[in-house]
Structure 1
Amino acid sequence: MFKMNSFVLFVLCVISLAVYAKANEKHVVCYYGTWAAYRNGLGKFDVDNINTDLCTHIVYTFLGINTRGTVVSLDPYLDYPENWGKDNIRKFVALKDQNPNLKLILAVGGWNEGSAKYSIMAANPKLRKNFITSAIQIIQKYGFDGLNIDWEYPNRGDSVFGQDDIDNYTQLLKELREEFDKHGLHLSAAVASVKSMASLSYDIPAISQYLDLINVMSYDMSVASGRVTGHNSPLHKGEKDVVISKENLKTVDGVLEYWLKQGCPPEKLILGLPLYGHTFKLSDPKNNGVGALSAGPGISGPYTATNGFIGFNELCVKLRKETWNIKYDNSSKVPYAVQGNNWISYDDAKSLTAKVKYALQFNIAGIMLWSIETDDFLGICQSDDYPLSRAVNIALGRSIESSSTALGTSTSNPTSSKPSTTAPIQEFICKDIGFYSNPKECSSYYYCVKSAGGNLVPKLLRCPNNLYWDQENQFCNYPDQANCYA
């Protein structure tokens, strides 16, 4: 009897530990910007590029609403199959075939949607009902696990009802929660981060009752339209910052202090971190520190093509191919780069790791990444794909596999556009860092990169279907425009 009881106790302990470990696993919420499907060359990002091992939740952005409060597609050609569309939503929800544990979330809203429509919808019981009913219909029709509300922002911007938005937003979430619980659906929200903005928009203790996760957007703390240079997402205040309380600072530590003090449960708080940077044009190249006078937005990346903004996948190539003075702010714990009158604030693996480790001391629920298509998802700059996302996973203590057992061998997601070894890369000899056409075929090309030992090593990459490598323009192009005759 004693042996049987001991065995049962042992089994129960093992089960309890397993449940505890699962319950305490940190979340990685990955936002996926669907518009990247229209980018050219190496910036083009489709569902097939998503690495499902690096996220616990993936958020499909964005759907919107119409004047009746009904959830509608903002890009039917991309989202749906009708009229020869790309059927992107169905492809997205099929990601569960690769990782059944994934939570696939539909996001409604976003910066471009503004505030007015949501202010009107949230103030009207009939429109709220239309919103909730239509959201559930789409979620269930396609197989999403839940909804992410990204109203930017209640009581701000072009809001119609001003301060009434605060209570109306809470009421909307309350009604969503009641209906979602009937169907076992997940409910989360993306929210403003720093006190000066969040305090205008949210009753934090109230909304925390109804949300499963609260994704705090801890970035864009300094933007290129500002008068001076500044960090996109500093962990701590800089040496030149005035002495004020943390919660009033535009810093990650200030954001955490404010939200937790206001009553956001740490087990629901998701800290949002950026996979992109902001670029500034210096007024005086000689005055190039943090807080230097800025003449406005700086350079754009070749894929995102927006002055003042650059994805990490664009920046890492630029930093390797060009001469930049890379500096590290020891107070704010983030890097920045200077070249002439160009100034860039960004994050690297080191700075993201520092933020994650700092946040973990508050036992928060996890990290949100905005957004995965601006990580180095092809592994152009390093031997692994998604270096920033991987760094965050590692810092959270999540077990992940390398994307390659050897340079150029993809293993973690065979359907994504990662380096391939269908041809022996040893036959190609690199003369310098950069992109080169494959003399044996037009549908693939080489990227020559320095290995850890300093040697030039070729990585074989493939163009998307029906495209050829265009050596002159340095991207995958239509065959009749690529000038390739291999």
Structure 2
Amino acid sequence: MKSTYSGVLYFIDCLATIRSFYLIRLVFTIDDNKSDKKIFCLHDATSSYSKLTNFDIKSMNPFLCRNLIYGYIGISQNGVIDLRSTEFNKDMDNSTRFRNKMNYLKSINQNMQILAGIGGCSFPDETTENLLFSIETTTKRSKMINNILKFGQQHHFNGFALHLCNPEFSIESDNLNNFRKLFSTFLKAFKQMLHAKNLILVTIIQSEIPTIVYHPKHVSNFSDYVLLTTYDFDKFKMNENINIHNALYKNPQDLDAKSNADYAIKTWIAKGGKAENLLMGISPHGRSFNIKFQNKTEPGSPIKWNDNSEINSNNFIPYNQLCKRLDLSNWIIKWQEDQKVPYAYKNFKWISFENRRSIEVKAEYIIKNNLAGGGFMNVENDDFEGTCGKPNYPLIRILNQKLIGVDIEDRFDEDRKIKKEIVILIKFSRKNINAMSESSEKNIA
């Protein structure tokens, strides 16, 4: 009996050791974020590009971003949540499936916060018009906010990210002042209701003409964070010349000094927005053009449009496709020093995009200008499978390394190592307990 008792004590001691070992290691692997900078990542389940990839949110490295925006839900004209016919819809209809996905991510990174995205760019006009209708009176606003809160609590979200995509196209010019007022009133009430539930609010703003549509001071005051999408400048303009879509600074030779992140950010702050809760939006996608003359490839060179009636939306290229194209073909890659971004060309094809170097420069800009952090739009457009070389998620890794000061893959690998070591220790403990029990039984016999 004494031998059996000793074996039990030995097993308990092993479990205590395992627990201590895990907790100590976990402190160094998970709670090592000494930086005050934030990174928010968007996964857009409503995007047509997301559906073409093998991306699964459950397979995402949960240390990529402490804050994940999972989008998008819609709002109907009567203030009711509209799930739309998307992958998001499937997840929300099967709340157990969704909770399993989110709980898995949070089980690895316990500091992770998951927000529901509202709006997005898949149904821009519908979202803006329905929201405007739903916030025009106090009664309607309260009804919509309560519906949103109920949805958030049902699916255990940590907050919401409101994204109106290019609302200037859905609002009559003579109604802009009314929209500004209503939107500010709505944000104030929404934030108060969310904070009462310990939830956070992020407002995502298209950067091209934000101060025309919004009141920067109000949006900053009534949001926990404002994510300014500092890319796709001049997206809806029929420019005759190449204009880099993701420039950090202006091109001195370009008469248009507004189509760059630096101008958008400084204008937002000058109009009353706060730097301390401003997130710089960064997107891992490229924009392609056909150049008019093969020997004129620098930014500002003439563009040849295939269809003069509308801009070709197919010039969007996710980084995970773009990097393969650049690796496999004889593209010439250049660096635009003034605007701090790369571009590439081959024959009559021309592409502007992000790479490790440009992301690093943007992260340095965030730190230098005391911004809150960065917003990565969208995580599924990065090279998540590592098909263009290891490691995977190369762009979001760089952003983490520069802003947070840690390597996300090291965190993920460390967590898996810890769990594997625990399994080995448990098996070892059980083996010894069994051996001791057998020995005890023999002694009794």
* Fold shared, TM-score > 0.5 on shorter chain: yes
Task: Confirm or deny: 8 A CA contact 1:276 1:309 kept in the other structure.
Answer: yes
Task: Confirm or deny: 8 A CA contact 2:72 2:118 kept in the other structure.
Answer: yes
Q: In the TM superposition, what whole-angstrom CA distance separates every residue of 1:339-383 from its partner, at most 9, and x where no partner exists?
A: 111110101010111111022112111000111101001111121
Q: Which residue of 2 aligns with 1:464?
A: none
What displacement does 1:121 show? Answer: 1.8
Are 2:339 and 1:332 equivalent residues in the alignment? Answer: yes
User: What is the aligned counterpart of 2:351 among 341, 344, 363?
Assistant: 344
What displacement does 1:211 show? Answer: 0.6
What displacement does 1:413 show? Answer: 7.9
5+ residue gaps, structure 1: 1-20, 299-304, 405-409, 415-486
What displacement does 1:84 show? Answer: 8.0
What displacement does 1:232 show? Answer: 1.6
Are 2:175 and 1:173 equivalent residues in the alignment? Answer: no
What displacement does 1:37 show? Answer: 8.9
Distance 1:335 1:38 in 2: 23
Q: Which residue of 2 aligns with 1:423?
A: none
Q: In the TM superposition, what whole-angstrom CA distance separates every residue of 1:19-57 from its partner, at most 9, and x where no partner exists?
A: xx968521110001214698677x221112321112121
TM-aligned CA distance change 1:58 to 1:284, over 3 Å: same
Distance 1:376 1:189 in 2: 26
Greater helix proportion = 2
User: What is the aligned counterpart of 1:189 among 203, 208, 212?
Assistant: 203
Q: In the TM superposition, what whole-angstrom CA distance separates every residue of 1:102-134 from its partner, at most 9, and x where no partner exists?
A: 110101001232222222222233322222111
Task: Confirm or deny: 8 A CA contact 1:353 1:392 kept in the other structure.
Answer: yes
Distance 2:352 2:150 in 1: 41
Distance 2:226 2:54 in 1: 29
Task: Confirm or deny: 8 A CA contact 1:79 1:86 kept in the other structure.
Answer: no
Distance 1:208 1:82 in 2: 30
What displacement does 1:81 show? Answer: 5.8
Distance 1:269 1:54 in 2: 20
What displacement does 1:139 show? Answer: 0.8
TM-aligned CA distance change 1:164 to 1:48, over 3 Å: same
TM-aligned CA distance change 1:83 to 1:333, over 3 Å: closer
Are 2:232 and 1:223 equivalent residues in the alignment? Answer: no
Q: So what's the TM-score if we normalise by structure 1?
A: 0.71
Distance 1:213 1:82 in 2: 25
Q: Which residue of 1 aligns with 2:66?
A: 56
What displacement does 1:94 show? Answer: 4.3
Secondary structure class of the residue paired with 1:112: coil
Matched-pair identity in %: 22
Secondary structure class of the residue paired with 1:132: helix
Alignment of 1:371-410 (within 5 A): 371-402=378-409
Paired letter, 1:134: N
Secondary structure class of the residue paired with 1:167: helix
Paired letter, 1:191: I
Distance 2:96 2:243 in 1: 39
What displacement does 1:390 show? Answer: 0.5
Q: In the TM superposition, what whole-angstrom CA distance separates every residue of 1:285-344 from its partner, at most 9, and x where no partner exists?
A: 23222122222379xxxxxx9611101110111111111011111111101110111110
Are 2:363 and 1:356 equivalent residues in the alignment? Answer: yes
User: What is the aligned counterpart of 1:294 among 303, 306, 324?
Assistant: 303
Q: Which residue of 2 aligns with 1:128?
A: 141
Are 2:272 and 1:263 equivalent residues in the alignment? Answer: yes
User: What is the aligned counterpart of 1:97 among 107, 114, 117?
Assistant: 107
Q: Which residue of 2 aligns with 1:12?
A: none
Paired letter, 2:378: S
Q: In the TM superposition, what whole-angstrom CA distance separates every residue of 1:196-241 from its partner, at most 9, and x where no partner exists?
A: x112111111122111000011000143863222112111111312
Distance 2:227 2:295 in 1: 39
What displacement does 1:400 show? Answer: 2.1
TM-aligned CA distance change 1:273 to 1:297, over 3 Å: farther
TM-aligned CA distance change 1:103 to 1:84, over 3 Å: closer
TM-aligned CA distance change 1:377 to 1:206, over 3 Å: same
User: What is the aligned counterpart of 1:151 among 164, 172, 180?
Assistant: 164
Larger relative contact order (CA 8 Å, sep ≥ 6): 2
Task: Confirm or deny: 8 A CA contact 1:153 1:201 kept in the other structure.
Answer: no
TM-aligned CA distance change 1:167 to 1:48, over 3 Å: same
Task: Confirm or deny: 8 A CA contact 2:400 2:408 kept in the other structure.
Answer: no
Paired letter, 2:413: T
What displacement does 1:188 show? Answer: 1.0
What displacement does 1:93 show? Answer: 5.3
TM-aligned CA distance change 1:333 to 1:76, over 3 Å: closer
Q: In the TM superposition, what whole-angstrom CA distance separates every residue of 1:446-485 from its partner, at most 9, and x where no partner exists?
A: xxxxxxxxxxxxxxxxxxxxxxxxxxxxxxxxxxxxxxxx
Secondary structure class of the residue paired with 1:288: coil
TM-aligned CA distance change 1:389 to 1:23, over 3 Å: closer
Distance 1:361 1:412 in 2: 31
Distance 2:108 2:314 in 1: 37
TM-aligned CA distance change 1:397 to 1:65, over 3 Å: closer
What displacement does 1:70 show? Answer: 1.5
Distance 2:189 2:140 in 1: 12
Greater strand proportion = 1
Secondary structure class of the residue paired with 1:235: coil
Task: Confirm or deny: 8 A CA contact 1:150 1:191 kept in the other structure.
Answer: yes
Q: Which residue of 2 aligns with 1:34?
A: 45
Paired letter, 2:169: G
Q: In the TM superposition, what whole-angstrom CA distance separates every residue of 1:183-203 from its partner, at most 9, and x where no partner exists?
A: 111011101224xx1121111
Q: So what's the TM-score if we normalise by structure 2?
A: 0.77
Q: In the TM superposition, what whole-angstrom CA distance separates every residue of 1:410-444 from its partner, at most 9, and x where no partner exists?
A: 93687xxxxxxxxxxxxxxxxxxxxxxxxxxxxxx
Secondary structure class of the residue paired with 2:343: strand
Paired letter, 1:348: N
TM-aligned CA distance change 1:68 to 1:94, over 3 Å: farther
User: What is the aligned counterpart of 2:222 among 207, 210, 222?
Assistant: 210
